[in-house]
C-alpha cells in the first residue's frame, strides 16, 4: 500500500542534542512538507520541498534543518538551537496540482 511512514513514533531529546525525524513516502509525490503541531493549535509549516535537492523555509524554520537527497525521503533535524522543540511533528506529501496533501502518522518529540 502507498503511504507515508514517519519514525520514530516517540522521540526524546536531551538538552544540547540534535535529533532527526524520518519521513519516507512511496506515493511518487514530488512535494513534501514538515509541520509542527502544538496543543490547541493548528499545524504550522516548518520546511517544504518541491523537488529533489531543493527545499524552502516555512513559517517557523528557525532551529530546524532538512535535506532532500531522494524523492522518497525528507528527514527533519531538530537542532539544539530550537529552544522549545516539544511538539507533535507531521510530515506530508503531495502529488499533482489540485490534489490534497497526504499525512504520515506523526512523531511526538519530548525533552528529557
Take residue 47 and report the three cell numbers written for it: 520546511
For other proteins, the binding residues (CB under 8 A) are 31, 33, 35, 40-45, 48, 50, 56, 58, 88, 90, 92, 94, 97-98, 100-103, 105-106
Of the two residues 16 and 39, which places its CB atom closer to other proteins in the complex? 39
Strands 107-111 and 10-13: parallel
Of the two residues 67 and 80, which places its CB atom closer to other proteins in the complex? 67
Of the two residues 18 and 110, which places its CB atom closer to other proteins in the complex? 110
Amino acid at each position: 500500500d502507498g503511504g507515508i511512514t514517519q519514525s520514530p513514533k516517540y522521540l526524546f531529546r536531551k538538552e544540547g542534542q540534535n535529533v532527526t525525524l524520518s519521513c519516507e513516502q512511496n506515493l511518487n509525490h514530488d512535494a513534501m512538507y514538515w509541520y509542527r503541531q502544538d496543543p490547541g493549535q493548528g499545524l504550522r509549516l516548518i520546511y517544504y520541498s518541491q523537488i529533489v535537492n531543493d527545499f524552502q523555509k516555512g513559517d517557523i524554520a528557525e532551529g530546524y534543518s532538512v535535506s532532500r537527497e531522494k524523492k522518497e525521503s525528507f528527514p527533519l533535524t531538530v537542532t539544539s538551537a530550537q529552544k522549545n522543540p516539544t511538539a507533535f511533528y507531521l510530515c506530508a506529501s503531495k502529488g499533482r496540482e489540485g490534489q490534497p496533501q497526504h499525512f504520515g502518522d506523526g512523531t511526538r518529540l519530548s525533552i528529557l
